[in-house]
Chains A and B, each alone.
Chain A
C-alpha cells in the first residue's frame, strides 16, 4: 500500500470537546497505526492471516482494557478514550479493531464485571499485556440473533463441570489462550465460564474463505466433554444479561470504530478527487463527486456528535442499551455506505489493494452483521419507542 497520508476530519471542531489526554491517546494510536498497521495490513488481509506480531503493540498503546482499572493491568481511562482507541484502530482495519474489541469488551469486561477477585487477578493482567489472548463464545450454528436458545451446556461433576456443545464465528478463536463461553447450567440458566486452551476436549478449528475481516482469525469452539473447574465459572451474573452486558460495551466501541473506517474512506476519496484529473480538471470539481463527498462528511460529522454524546452518557453510567444500539446501527451503516460511495470516486483504482477502501467495505459487511445485525438493532429501537416486542 502506498504511504498512509491519513488526516483526521473534524468539521465541527469536536476536538474542543475532548481533553488533552484524549487527544494525546488518539494521536498516539493514530501514529502507531500509521507505523505498524498501514504498511502491512493489506498484505495480511490478502493472505487471510492475522498479524500476530502486532499484539505487543496493541497492548502497548492500551488497546486491551483501556477502561479496566490500573490495578488489574488496564489503563484506568474513561469511555471516550476507549472509543477513540477503537476509532483509530478501525481506521487502520476493522479486523484488528475486532481483536481489540473482543479482548477488551468481551473477555476482560466480563471477567472484571462478573468475575471473582481471584479470577480478576489471575486473568486480567495477562490479558492487558497481550500475553494471553481471549475470545468470546456466544453464537452457535443454530442460534445467532437468538442466543437464548443456545444448546451448549454443562453438567455437574464435583468441583468441576463437564461442558458440551459448539460455538461458531468466534473471533480470535484460532489463537486464543482462553475463551469466555456462555453455556446453560444444569438448571438451564445461561452462565459465563472460562475455558482454557489446554483443557482436554476443547478445540478451535479455523473458519476459512471469509471475504471480510480477512486479517482477523475466526473459528469455532468445540467442547467435547471438557472438564472445567467450577472456579472458572463467572460467579456474579446469571442469564442473558451477562453476554448482553459485554455486547453493550463492545457495540459502544464499534460505534466509534466505524467512524474510523468511514474517515479513512472519505479521506482517501477526498484526496484522490483533488489529484485525479479527467476532462482537464480534478474530478473533485465535478458536482456529482462533490455530492458524494459533501454527504460523506455530513454523515461522519453527525456520527461523531452522536458518539461523543453517547461517550459522555457512558462515562456517567447513563447510556442505555437501546441508545448504544442506535449508535452501532447508525454508524456502521453510515461507514458502509461511505465505503461504497468512496470506492466509486476512485474508479478502477478503488478495486485494488493499492487503496484501503474495498478492504474497509468488505470488513464492514461483518461489522454490520456481528454484535447484533442491522435488523436486530432496529428491532431494539422499535421496541424501545413503541413498547412492543417484534422479535418473536
Chain B
C-alpha cells in the first residue's frame, strides 16, 4: 500500500500570536513550529497500517526550506521518505493544487491529511485535493481500517456515529481517535538522517484570495463579582455591559 500523508507546519499551541506591521501576516520571529497535531495523527495511522500490511508512507509538505525540521521529524517518527514542494503555502486552494499536481503522477492508494491545520483552521485542503484528483473524500475521520482494497471509516455525527465503506484510493482527513501520536525515538532520529527528502518546484496557481487584515480577539475582561443580594445590579450588568439579555 502506498500512502501519502500531507503535513502542515503550524505554530506551537502555546505561541503568543503577533502580526507583522501590515497586519496581513503572522510574525514568526521566535515562534516554535510543530507538525500540525491532526496531521501527526494521520501519519501515525498510516504507519500503523503499513507496518501491519506492508507498504510505504510518504510525507509531503508545501513550504520553504525553513520548514524542513518538520519533515525530518516526520521521517524520525517513521515515514519512509519526504517531499517538500518549494513554495509558501498561500491559501488552501494553492496548497491543494500543489499536492494534486504532485500526487497525480504517484498512484497513491490512500491520501491522508489532518481535519484542519490549527493555525488558520481552513479545513479545506482535504476536500479540494480529493476533488482535484477525482477521488472520494471523507472528512473528520475517527477510525480508519483497511482490508482488501476497501476502507472502513468512522465519523462522529451529532448524537451518534456514521460508518462508511469506500474503495481505495481515497482521501481522508484525520481527527482525534484515529491513532495516538508517537514520539520520535533515537533509532528513528538516527535513520531519519539518511531517508530521502526530495524538493519539488511549485506549479503556477492563479491568485483568487488576498488577506485584507488579521485581527486578534478583544482581550477577555476580568471577572466582576456581584454580591448575592444585589440581583438588580447583576441584571443591569448583564443587560447593559455583557448585552446578553
A residues engaging B (CB < 8 A)?
7, 20-21, 23-25, 28, 31-32, 35, 60-62, 66, 70, 75-77
Contacts and interface: CB of A to CB of B under 8 A. Distances in A.
Given A23-B69, A31-B183, A35-B183, 12 more contacts: A20-B72, A21-B193, A24-B69, A24-B189, A24-B192, A25-B189, A28-B184, A60-B185, A60-B187, A61-B185, A76-B190, A77-B190
Contacts of B68: 20
Contact of B183 (A20, A28, A66, A75): A28
Contacts of B193: 21
A62 B69 CA distance: 19
A61 B185 CA distance: 5
Contacts of A66: 186
Nearest to A35: B183
B42 to A, nearest CB: 18
B57 interface: no
Interface string B124-160: 0000000000000000000000000000000000000
> For the complex, would chain B's binding face be called helix, strand, loop or mixed by DSSP majority?
helix
A301 to B, nearest CB: 16
Contact of B190 (A20, A23, A31, A70): A70
Nearest to B76: A24
Interface in B63-86: 68-69, 72-73, 76
Contacts of A28: 76, 183-185, 189
Nearest to A10: B30
14 contacts: A21-B189, A21-B193, A23-B69, A28-B183, A28-B184, A35-B183, A60-B185, A60-B186, A61-B183, A61-B186, A62-B185, A70-B190, A75-B190, A76-B190
B184 to A, nearest CB: 5
B14 interface: yes
Nearest to B12: A7
B14 A24 contact: no
B192 to A, nearest CB: 8
Contacts of B189: 21, 24-25, 28, 62
A75 B183 CA distance: 16
Contacts of A23: 69
Contacts of B69: 20, 23-24
Contacts of B187: 60
B113 to A, nearest CB: 22
A320 B187 CA distance: 31
Identify which of A21, A28, A60, A75 gathers the most chain B CB atoms within 10 Å of its CB. Answer: A28
A25 B76 CA distance: 10
A31 B188 CA distance: 15
A263 to B, nearest CB: 15
Given A7-B14, A21-B193, A75 B186 contact: yes
A317 to B, nearest CB: 22
A60 B76 CA distance: 13
A54 to B, nearest CB: 13
Contacts of A32: 183
A321 B14 CA distance: 40
Contact of A62 (B14, B73, B186, B192): B186
